[in-house]
Each structure stands twice: as structure tokens, then as C-alpha cells.
Structure 1
């Protein structure tokens, strides 16, 4: 049962949450042309629900108070928030302004306070919500477990429940690269990062971009370090080895890095120079090669 129906006094009920909307294109890769500027959403209950007429009246009243949506919007409209020992339970309307029904899968949701600071973040399986009809609002309850809370004290009014959209994987250049490489080279790197499959959630991998043998015997290897985490990461030391087309290890060594940060969900290029003393093959075949960290 929704938390709003566990209140002792329904007459004093007050909607304390705000509205947050995202583009249907961002969430479902769906977009429609529409002549409507404002779309009002009809109340929709889950097919398995069987509620009393008084409770239906409450939901209709709350739904009628909702602001209209714009075309191609998916929205969460907070109703009530109830902290307890299990975490924080949030009641909200899930809203759809499309002219077709939608079905959610797993979504990442944020709970924000009145200052838009994160109270909690959690992944929910919203397939349980069922098919959300066209131009409709469906009330639902979300439990952010205690383990998902980032702060325990917050205002109980002016809060927001919102979809957390993963940002597009981007290029992150070290300041020395930002200052030294040509614009054309930067554009090539950006196109490369956008053209390849981003790393999986929580994955860090290394992609070789360029390998050159210098006349001095050094081996210059440019690597794209790809961070699939939603947090920044720092690398202090990195042991690497390189194989050429024959599969033979041609260089091996450790590198110390000074506060080398790769921002969340970004790829950062860096050139590692193996001195001749660490290069084990005089004429490596660099028509095909790979570089990877030494475990």
C-alpha cells in the first residue's frame, strides 16, 4: 500500500515533493511530433490494484493538481517522503506524455533535497510498474534502502525524485595535452572516443592508439585509458607491457604518475615512453600490437 494511505489523517495530506522531467529520447530513444504544447496526464492504476473509493478520490485529487507536461517527456512527481529504519520511502507519480505506452526496465534514481543535493541514489527494477499507458500518471512507491543514503538529515519539503541519466562517454585531456595538441588532433580523438563502444559500467580498460620505435631505441606508446566508473579515479603507478604482431612481449616496465586522474565515464590518452633498456626486441613488428597492465 502507498505510504499516503497509511497516514492517520488524510485531511492534512500535503504534497511535499517537486516535479522532475526528462526527454523520452534520452530515456527510451523515442520521440514524437506533436501539435500539443501542454499534455495533461490521466490517472492510471496498476491492474493488480484494488483500492477503496476514498483512496481513489485522494489519488484523483493529487493527479488533478499536477502541472501539464510537454510533448516527449517522462516525469516523476514527488508526493510524500517517509524516512524510517529501513531507509527512505518515497511516493511519486510516474508520468508519460507520449501517445504510446512505455515499459521501464532497471532505472537509476536520485533523491535530492531542497538544495538539489543528493540524499540517496539507488537502482530500481521498474518493470514491476507494468505498461504505463499513453498520457498517464501512475502512483508508485520507491524504497531507497538505508545503504543507499548519503545523508540522514534533510528537509521533508521541496525534495525531488529524479532519473539519473548516464552522461555520454567523453574525452578527457590532461592539461598538458590540452595546451599542446592541435585542434585537428583533438577532434580526431573526440571522434575516436565517440565511435567505439564505451566501457561497461565499473570497467577500466586500456586501448592502444599508436606505437612508434624511436631512433634512440625508445618505444613510444600512446594509450587511451577508459574509465567506466561513475566516480573519478587516480592512478599513481602503472606497470605495462607491450606485445607486437607476433605476440612476443617487446617492452615491459612500470610508470609513476603524478596525481593522474581519469574523470568518471571518460577516456584519457597518455603516451608512455619505454627507454631502450626496457625494450626487449630490436625490430618489433608494430603492424599489429597491444598494450595492457601487468597483473
Structure 2
């Protein structure tokens, strides 16, 4: 897929610094390192295409020793998304293999306009002090803005920060009602539960009981393992008893019910008695869950 376009007006180097020991590295320009261009063996390129890559490679600034760098060369709309052609460079004294990388496309102000994780097992090893061009296909779903920048963009590794400790979030109505002892119990529970996978959202049943007016009250801990807030507007739920029988199911409309990123929020859902399909359910053991779509 030969894809070339005019050079962006502004191009900056985005690099990941790795502190590893160096041994016998040939450097130029006061310690800076020059890389050798390497094409993947499966790439079929014409002589003209190879010349363009060689020319663009020669224009890249030299790197410091012990770096892994990515530099964008071209951005082109392609089918239901766009392709970024970029140079990956390695100035370590050993070959590296990329399993998966998280990449950000940035506009000229440094704001992210697209992001995606790429599996790069097909790229094979990148030898020491070499540079390899690669094509990264983004879909429209990977865009963070509607229109991609034509000029001034850069591509960079997304260096993820360590995740903050998962925390308890209480609705303001709960803040005013529960006792300090109850709050402490919930905080201990949240801190001792198995950690969520990144992006995982699940529901943990805390309490299920028949109320004095024969309704079913189910308290659920909504756990958000995502790095983004989630806004629940409608939530369908199913409740099963100890026998595995569905004892009730229904949908709930929620008003501005936001579960903050990396937080767990408890809420009590009341099923009216006309939705309880099993008389005298066995609540010695039970579970609550949203139906599969």
C-alpha cells in the first residue's frame, strides 16, 4: 500500500527514553546516534518508493543512545479511517521486539486527536541502531475528534501512568445517610476486592431483602475499572435466588448517575412486588446481573 503525501509543516520527535547500559556504541555529532534504514522482508516496494523512504530517513534528526523513537511521516485517509506511516527507530545495543504499543496522534497544540493499541507481532525484531517504516491503520472509532489535522500533527507512544488506587464513591444522598461505620465497611470492601481489568465494569451484589411492603430491595456495588467516568442512564437487572431461579427482572432509569473512573459506587434498586415472579424466594444465596445484549 504505497502512500505518500507532502511533508507536514511541523514535525517533532516523540521518543521513549530507556536507561540501559551501553557497550561500544559508535556515535556521531557529540554522542548522537545514526540509524540504518531497514525494510520488512514482506514489504514489496518499487525503487522509487524505497528512494522516498531513504530520503525521509536521512532527514530525521539523530538520536541519543539507548532510545526507542517513533516519528510520523505521512497521514492519509483510508477506507473507514486513516493510515499513519511512521518510522520506528532503535538505538539500543540489542534487538527489540514490539508485542503491542499504545499510540497517540497529536495535533500541533499537543492535544490527542486519536489513540489506539496496535499488535506488532508481525513486525519481527528491530535490530540495534536500525529504523523501520511501518503503517498504522486507525479506524473512525479511534478518533477523539471529528476532523484529523492535515498539518502539524505528530505521533507518540502513550506512556501510561500507574493506575490510582481504586476508591469508593458515594452518591450525595448516601453521604448524608450512612453512618461512619458503614462507610468504613464499604471502603474496606472496595480495597480488598480482586482488582478489575483495565476498562472492566461489573456489578457486585451487597444485599438483597424483601421490604416491609413486599418489594425487593437489591443493593449493588457498581465497579468501574475504566479510566473514564461512566454515565448510566438506563440499567436493566436480573436477580436469581439460591436455586438459580430468576425471581425478578426489570429496568431502571437513572438521573445523572455517574460512576467516576476507577471507582466503585453502591446503589439500591427497588423491584416492586408485581415484578417478583417467585413467591418466597430463597435469598440465602443470590446474584444480580445485567442481561446479555
TM-score using structure 1 length = 0.64
Matching residue of 1:239: 236
How far apart are the structure 2 equivalents of 1:147 and 1:96?
Answer: 30
Task: Work out whether residues 107 and 126 of structure 1, in 8 Å CA contact, stay in contact via their aligned partners in 2.
Answer: yes
Cα pair distance change 1:243/1:14, threshold 3 Å: closer
Q: CA deviation at 1:257?
A: 1.6
Cα pair distance change 1:174/1:2, threshold 3 Å: farther
Query: Are 1:258 and 2:251 matched, yes or no?
Result: no
Cα pair distance change 1:244/1:166, threshold 3 Å: farther
Task: Work out whether residues 85 and 133 of structure 2, in 8 Å CA contact, stay in contact via their aligned partners in 1.
Answer: yes
The match for 1:154 among 149, 158, 165 is: 149
How far apart are the structure 2 equivalents of 1:147 and 1:276?
Answer: 40
Matching residue of 2:12: 18
CA RMSD of aligned residues (A): 4.6
Aligned length: 269
Q: How does 1:1-295 map to 2 (within 5 A)?
A: 16-22=10-16, 34=21, 40=33, 42-48=35-41, 58=55, 61-63=58-60, 65-68=61-64, 74-78=68-72, 80-83=73-76, 88-96=82-90, 98-105=92-99, 107-122=101-116, 124-134=118-128, 136-144=130-138, 150-152=145-147, 154=149, 156-157=151-152, 159-164=153-158, 168=163, 170-171=166-167, 173-176=169-172, 182=183, 185-186=186-187, 188-192=189-193, 194=195, 196-198=196-198, 205-208=202-205, 210-213=206-209, 216=212, 220-226=217-223, 232-262=229-259, 266=262, 268-274=264-270, 277=273, 282=280, 284-286=282-284, 288-294=285-291
Please identify which structure carries the higher helix content: 1
TM-score using structure 2 length = 0.65
Cα pair distance change 1:244/1:197, threshold 3 Å: farther
Gap runs ≥5 in structure 2: 24-30
